[in-house]
Structure 1
Amino acid sequence: MGKQVKFIGLGVVVVILATLGGFKFFDRVENGNVGIRYAISGGVRDKALSQGIHFVGLDYVTQYPIKTQSIKQRVAVATSDGKKTDVKISYSYHVDPSKAVAIYKKFGSADIHAIETGWLAQKLQKASRESMAKFTLLEVVGTDSTKAQAGILKSFQQAAEPYGFVVEDLSFGTPSIDEQTQKSIDDIIKAGQDNKKAELEAKTKETQAKADADAKITAANAEAEANNKINASINDQTIAYMEAQARLKHGWVTVQTNDAMVDAKGN
């Protein structure tokens, strides 16, 4: 009986140890991450783990994010006309899963936030300076804003993607503006408003003149049509009828006899 109890107790211990060992030998990679395996024998394994549960033995697994991250950063730049400004830039990026291990090897134990505020911030700063230096400050806040933004995005992508950081999109706000540039902008806006007002007034006058001309043409056409109708309605019978009506109205008629025409007034 005592031996049986010992065997049962030993079996329970084995089951518990096996269960605990199973949890130790398996690891779960959360959604939106890959798992970077670090072997206790030394070194990072070459292949990252996808999301889900994996047998890892005694390896240590670090969760590495690959989902899209949204970053905001303010950068200081100088434009082609020598003016210094700063602008707030927003961009989205994600880590290429196939290059996650290479990123981990390059940056070591640095977490993704440290990379964003360090290495990525430097690359964005450099790309911004290169692009903004091609435009004046007035162009950046005006007609060439889209070109400047596209230039920053392209340069940033080219700098980051070879290392496994995929920049998806980028946008920037309004750069800080000095007084002289602000005055130039105000003058341009005022000139545009004045031009628009002048165009509107000219168009109004043109519309009114056209309306007056159309009204005169319509009246002339109506008068001509009325005259045509009157002319078309006059013939010998009409004239004779009108003459007879006039004579009756004024109290006299013309009588035709065999020898002569005699006018007689009626009483």
Structure 2
Amino acid sequence: MKDIKDVNESHAPKGNKRTSSAKLIGKLITSAVVLIAVIVLFFAFFVTKIDNGNVGVVYKISGGVQDEMLSQGWHVILPTERVIEYPVRTQTVSYDGLAVATVDGKALSMPVSLNYHVDPEKASAVYKKFGNVSIEDLQAGYIQSRSQDALRQVVSQYTVIETFGEKTGEIKNGTLERLAADLENIGIIIEDVIVNPPQPDEETQKAIDERVKATQNLERTKTDKEIAKQEAERKIIEAEGEKKANEIRSKSLTPEIIQEKLIEKWDGKQPITIGGEGIIVDFNQKNE
């Protein structure tokens, strides 16, 4: 019995060591899990990332909108703070068709595209005006409505034919000018506007074709008139040149030169008749 007791006592410390090691490993795993959870919670509630090309506007529950912007990168914030991002590099947004009307009452749906960005110095002003609204919601709401209003005011000054043709450049520039002035004050910078002609209906297309044909005929008439004018001027110049040449020749024909020319053409036999008055020159008689 004594030997058995000694054996049990000799094995007891090894079991205790194994139990202690298992408890230590368990504590370490638990600590690691807790640490990871703390880190995850910290990043979830205390850290925010501002994407490249954006700025962040901070709103504090106790202090309202902060004037200082958050640049791109990671930032530590408090749980009582909220951050909304605005793009400060060029963004492009397209609208399939904005409803407008021409000066002659034709209703049109015109596709429009915008290039814009938010002024980083006025990003807080954008937040103050619109609150916790994303830039996508602004594009689909306020920016679209202001774009439609600017285009409507410009198109209403032109006829439907002008809208489809020769005045498209003026419509684009007018829309850009109005929209840029409208949105700049609130911190949205319009860089460019692209106004595409709408798809004409059958009646409008017929009117456009007739206008194009009339324009082509007018240009052809102008061209023909210009050609005729140039031809008449050419003939006048030629006639004036011929007249001056004759005058110079007449002044240079002295009696001696005339006689010399006659002698060159005389065959030595028959008298020469000059002009329509029947003047006859007989060199044989003169020689006699």
Shorter chain as denominator, the TM-score bin is 0.5 to 0.7
Tell me how far apart the structure 2 counterparts of residues 129 and 252 of structure 1 sit (CA, whole Å).
102
1:79 aligns with 2:79: no
The Cα of 1:173 is off from its aligned counterpart by: 1.2
The Cα of 1:111 is off from its aligned counterpart by: 2.3
TM-score by length of 1: 0.65
* Shift in alpha-carbon separation, 1:38–1:56, aligned structure 2, 3 A: farther
The Cα of 1:218 is off from its aligned counterpart by: 3.6
> The residue matched to 1:47 in structure 2 has which SS?
coil
The Cα of 1:68 is off from its aligned counterpart by: 1.9
Match of 1:51 in 2: 71
Contact 1:28 1:53 in 2 (8 A): yes
* Shift in alpha-carbon separation, 1:224–1:26, aligned structure 2, 3 A: same
1:48-102 CA deviation, whole Å, 9 max, x = no partner? 4243567635356544322121222121222232221111112222112233234
Contact 1:29 1:49 in 2 (8 A): no
Tell me how far apart the structure 2 counterparts of residues 148 and 182 of structure 1 sit (CA, whole Å).
20
Match of 2:147 in 1: 124
1:33 aligns with 2:54: yes
Q: How does 1:193-208 map to 2 (within 5 A)?
A: 193-208=216-231
The Cα of 1:26 is off from its aligned counterpart by: 7.2
The Cα of 1:220 is off from its aligned counterpart by: 4.2
Tell me how far apart the structure 2 counterparts of residues 101 and 93 of structure 1 sit (CA, whole Å).
17
Give the percent of matched residue pairs that are identical in Structure 1 and Structure 2: 28
Tell me how far apart the structure 2 counterparts of residues 221 and 134 of structure 1 sit (CA, whole Å).
58
1:190 aligns with 2:210: no
1:172 aligns with 2:195: yes
Contact 1:76 1:85 in 2 (8 A): yes
Greater Cα shift, 93-102 or 139-148: 139-148
Q: How does 1:62-73 map to 2 (within 5 A)?
A: 62-73=84-95
Match of 1:212 in 2: 235
Tell me how far apart the structure 1 counterparts of residues 286 and 143 of structure 2 sit (CA, whole Å).
117
Match of 2:24 in 1: none
* Shift in alpha-carbon separation, 1:162–1:251, aligned structure 2, 3 A: closer
Instruction: Provide the aligned length of Structure 1 versus Structure 2.
Output: 232
Contact 1:44 1:105 in 2 (8 A): no
Contact 2:84 2:132 in 1 (8 A): no
Contact 2:55 2:72 in 1 (8 A): no
Tell me how far apart the structure 2 counterparts of residues 205 and 173 of structure 1 sit (CA, whole Å).
40
Contact 1:36 1:44 in 2 (8 A): no
Match of 2:276 in 1: none
Tell me how far apart the structure 2 counterparts of residues 173 and 101 of structure 1 sit (CA, whole Å).
33
Contact 1:80 1:135 in 2 (8 A): yes
* Shift in alpha-carbon separation, 1:158–1:206, aligned structure 2, 3 A: closer
TM-score by length of 2: 0.61
Amino acid corresponding to residue 121 of structure 2 in structure 1:
S
The Cα of 1:174 is off from its aligned counterpart by: 1.0
* Shift in alpha-carbon separation, 1:231–1:67, aligned structure 2, 3 A: same
CA RMSD of aligned residues (A): 4.2
Tell me how far apart the structure 1 counterparts of residues 132 and 207 of structure 2 sit (CA, whole Å).
50
Contact 1:28 1:51 in 2 (8 A): no
* Residue from 126, 149, 163 that aligns with 2:172: 149
> The residue matched to 2:185 in structure 1 has which SS?
helix
